[in-house]
Amino acid sequence: MRTSRLAEANTGAAKPSEVVAHYLEAIYYIRAEGEVVRSARLADWLGVSRPTVTAALRRMTRDGMVRLSSKKEIELRPQGETAAAAIVRRHRIIERWLTDALDLDWVTADTEAERLETALSDQLANKLYESLGKPQTCPHGNPIPGSSTMRADELRLSALQGGEMATITRISEVAQREAPPLLQYLHDRGLRPGQRIVVEEVDQVARTMRLRAARSLTLSIETASKLSVVRAARRKSRRAAAPR
C-alpha cells in the first residue's frame, strides 16, 4: 500500500471552520459520484438557501478553497482538495471505528461520524486508523482518502441486465446523506459491500430489477443506481472437444 500523504501531513495546519468543512465535504462527495457541482445542488444537499451558498462560496473563493469555472461549476483548488480529503478521511475512519469496534448500525455511525469529524485531529484519526488494522474503505465500501481509491471496473447496479452476476462494492455517499432510510433499507436486506448478487429480471416498463442476493427482492432502477458493483468474471467452457 502506498504511503498516505494525508497521514504524513503537518497536523499543525489550521482546520477549516465547521461550516466550511461541511461545504468542502459536500463538494467532494457530489463530485465523487460523477455529478456536476453547482450552487443549486449544494443548497439542496446542505438544506440552505441559494443566497447562503453564494455567500459561503464567495468566502471560500477568497480563501483559496474553491473556484468557479466558466460554466459556473464549483471546483476545489489544491488547498480545498487537501482539506476536503482530510475531512472525508476522518469521517470514514470514525464510521469504521463505530461499526467495527462499537457495533453501531450504519445510519447511526454515519450520523455520529458527521458530528465528530471536525473535532477529531488528523493525528488521532491516523492512530485510530492504525488500531483498526488500516481498513481500505468505510463500512459502505467507499474508499478512505489517502489509503485507497475507487475501483476502475465499477459500474452501477442499474446498468446490469438479466442473468448477470456481480459483487456489490459500495453504496453511493449521495444516497447516504440524502436518504438515510435508504441506507437502512439496503443494510436490512443484506445489500452490503462484498455481497454477491444475480440479476434475475429487469423490467424496463416498471423500472424495477429483481435480484437474488441473501434473498430475492425487487429494487427500483433509481435505488439500484445508488449501488456500485463489479461484474463476475465469466467462466470459460470446460467441454472437451468432440472426438473425431
Q: What is the pLDDT of residues 134-167, one digit of tens each?
A: 999 999 999 999 999 988 999 999 999 999 999 9
Banded model confidence at residue 181, pLDDT cuts 50, 70, 90: confident
Q: What is the pLDDT of residues 51-100, one digit of tens each?
A: 999 999 999 999 999 999 999 999 999 999 999 999 999 999 999 999 99
Which CATH number describes the domain made up of 1-149? 1.10.10.10
Average pLDDT value for the chain: 88
The residues of the chain that CATH labels 2.30.30.90 are: 155-231
Q: CA 175: distance to chain centroid? A: 9
What per-residue confidence (pLDDT) applies to 180? 76
Name the nearest CA neighbour of 56 among 16, 19, 18.
19
What per-residue confidence (pLDDT) applies to 238? 52
The residues of the chain that CATH labels 1.10.10.10 are: 1-149
Q: Residue 12: is its pLDDT beyond 60?
A: no
Predicted TM-score (pTM) of the model is: 0.85
Residue 103, C-beta contacts closer than 8 angstroms, at least 6 positions apart = none
What's the average model confidence in pLDDT over 22-40?
93
Q: CA 167: distance to chain centroid? A: 16
Percent of the chain with pLDDT over 70: 89
Q: How far apart are CA 236 and CA 244, in angstroms?
A: 22
What per-residue confidence (pLDDT) applies to 184? 85
Residue 103 three-state SS: coil
Ramachandran class of 54: left when φ > 0, alpha when ψ lies in -120 to 50, beta otherwise: alpha
What per-residue confidence (pLDDT) applies to 6? 43
Q: What is the pLDDT of residues 202-224, one digit of tens each?
A: 999 989 999 998 789 999 999 99
Looking at domain 155-231, what is its CATH homologous superfamily? Ferrous iron transport protein A (FeoA) (2.30.30.90)
